[in-house]
Amino acid sequence: TQLLEQSPQFLSIQEGENLTVYCNSSSVFSSLQWYRQEPGEGPVLLVTVVTGGEVKKLKRLTFQFGDARKDSSLHITAAQPGDTGLYLCAGHGSGNTGKLIFGQGTTLQVKP
């Protein structure tokens, strides 16, 4: 069974601080995705990483896929209150399937 472990589960920081969220597994994933979910809403896709060692940047967010495609990280620089939300990593095992395996999520609170 493929599992994704996210850490930390909760993070409360001040505006302007940097943070990193980790997503780890003992299994290889063909791709990993990061979603952000706000209360009362569905998850919204932030990025998909597919190549081992890949780094993608989305404004102040940097996403990295591990060389072995078993782990990923999300780094936020100079966090803002608008970054507050639930961050979820999710992976596809293999093949074309709508079955995503989700991590438990990281609840981020950025205080002004």
Residues of this chain that interact with other proteins (CB under 8 A) are: 30-31, 33, 35, 40-45, 48, 50, 88, 90, 92, 95-105
Q: State in angstroms the smallest separation of the CB of 56 from other proteins.
A: 12
SS3 state at 83: helix
Q: State in angstroms the smallest separation of the CB of 16 from other proteins.
A: 30
C-alpha distances (whole Å) from 100 to each of 2, 35, 83, 89, 107 are 10, 12, 24, 10, 20
Q: Which is nearer to other proteins, 34 or 83 (CB)?
A: 34
Q: Which residues pair with 75 in a beta bridge?
A: 20, 62
Q: Which is nearer to other proteins, 65 or 80 (CB)?
A: 65
Q: State in angstroms the smallest separation of the CB of 35 from other proteins.
A: 8
SS3 state at 81: helix
Q: Which is nearer to other proteins, 14 or 51 (CB)?
A: 51
Which residue, chain included where needed, has tokens 């896929």? Answer: 65
